[in-house]
Amino acid sequence: MSITAEIRVGDKTLPLPVIVGSEQEVGVDIQALRDKTGAVTFDPGYGNTGACESAVTFLDGELGILRYRGYPIEQLAGKVSFLEVAWLLLKGELPNAAELATFTAAEKANRGLPAHVTAIINAFPKDAHPMAVLSAAVLSLSSTYHAETAATHAGLNFNELRLMAQLPTIAAAIYRHGAGLAPVAPDAKLDYTANFLNMMFAGTARSGHDADIANALDLLLILHADHEQNCSTSTVRLVGSAQADLYASIAAGITALWGPLHGGANQAVIEMLDGIVAHGGDVGWAVAQAKDKDSSFRLMGFGHRVYKNFDPRATLIKVQADVVLGKLGKNDPQLAIAKGLEEAALKDEYFVARKLYPNVDFYSGIIYRALGFPYGMFTVLFALGRLPGWMAHWNEHNAGKAKIGRPRQIYTGKNARDVVELSKR
């Protein structure tokens, strides 16, 4: 059965093409609307606007489905490495053994930073927010590699490869600078995640190479690798649509991710749990406060802009939180409060009716804290995971003849008026 659509604006009726995606998602093509009728659509927050066609990630919020390039997140998590997922997002298929070996070797060979990037990191105050430093450091890479935008190496665009290799080095250098510690050079004997943990914590009380802990972090990176057209990904695509280079576009995505309503949400969860601990760990009090419209308390980590069912990533992270805390031998009161909140909310009609299920941020912050990451680094870890997704979308947007992004508006300001001379105002 064919699908048709039309819109009537005043006395004008416009037939509209309908686009049907591979998962039967329906989009009404309104590109001719303003030309033909003088009207534009009004969709604050773009919740009902399809800004592009994409083959990277499929997300069904009603059914709780997340797939990268067709692969369910439940099958990828724990079965493949983060580097394999990065290749999948960037190239469209999982790598074979030879491709993965080449990619892995090239990543290890390109982890070192240009001297000026280290200088930029060290020029920031030690108490600067890590996301501010991360954005500046990534943007500075364009001054070194601007002439090599078309070069390829190990099957990837060289800029993509270098960003994959260098972002963990940048992130670790940011942490070490803020903590007053000397930077740790990359270790080519260690794989991607273990190397990052070593650059972060070598020489501290958290040092040591534990495969289970590295695997847990690798899983978290996989779960954050892409999430369709979210705020930061849309920002990367929008900035890229102006033909800004990869580094500028990713730096813009980092600043978008910084926001507490986006990538900063896992830090907000931990701060909320700290507040509940200060209240004696009373879960009932927290639930009552969350339901009280006059209370300033906000229950962070529940609900999602897209998911109207359980976040499939939260299910995987919840299990991992138990594994990590058990491995580290930590009896974290925050985890007990988190589980109590989840149980209470899932039984309470207020939350059930609103489908306020735990999301990916609810448990990830607990794991990051248990691993020894300071709160300010939580969103940096999110950026490490999201990098391949951002680059995949940047590539996809710029592969075709995409137009520069240019949203419209409904003007609600003053009508035309004349300037009055200063003496008469």
Residues designated as active site? 304, 361
Measured from the Cβ of residue 163, the count of other Cβ atoms closer than 10 Å reads 23
Please state, in angstroms and rounded to a whole number, the distance separating the CA atoms of residues 188 and 195: 8
Most distant CA pair in the chain, distance: 78
Please state, in angstroms and rounded to a whole number, the distance separating the CA atoms of residues 367 and 212: 13
Measured from the Cβ of residue 21, the count of other Cβ atoms closer than 10 Å reads 13
Which DSSP helix (H) or strand (E) runs through 382?
Answer: helix 378-399
- Going by the DSSP 8-state scheme, the letter that residue 9 receives in this structure is E
Beta bridge partners of 71: 68
Please state, in angstroms and rounded to a whole number, the distance separating the CA atoms of residues 81 and 219: 8
Please state, in angstroms and rounded to a whole number, the distance separating the CA atoms of residues 133 and 171: 9
Number of H helices, E strands in the chain: 19, 9
Residue 113 CA: distances (Å) to CA of 146, 165, 225, 401, 423: 15, 9, 23, 34, 60
Please state, in angstroms and rounded to a whole number, the distance separating the CA atoms of residues 42 and 33: 12
Tell me the backbone φ, ψ of residue 7, rounded to 5 degrees. Answer: -130, 140
Q: What is the CA radius of gyration of the chain?
A: 23
Measured from the Cβ of residue 244, the count of other Cβ atoms closer than 10 Å reads 18
Beta bridge partners of 59: 66
Please state, in angstroms and rounded to a whole number, the distance separating the CA atoms of residues 249 and 251: 5
Let me know: does 184 contact 191? Beta carbons within 8 Å: no
- Residues written for the chain: 425
Q: How far apart are the first and last CA of the chain?
A: 65
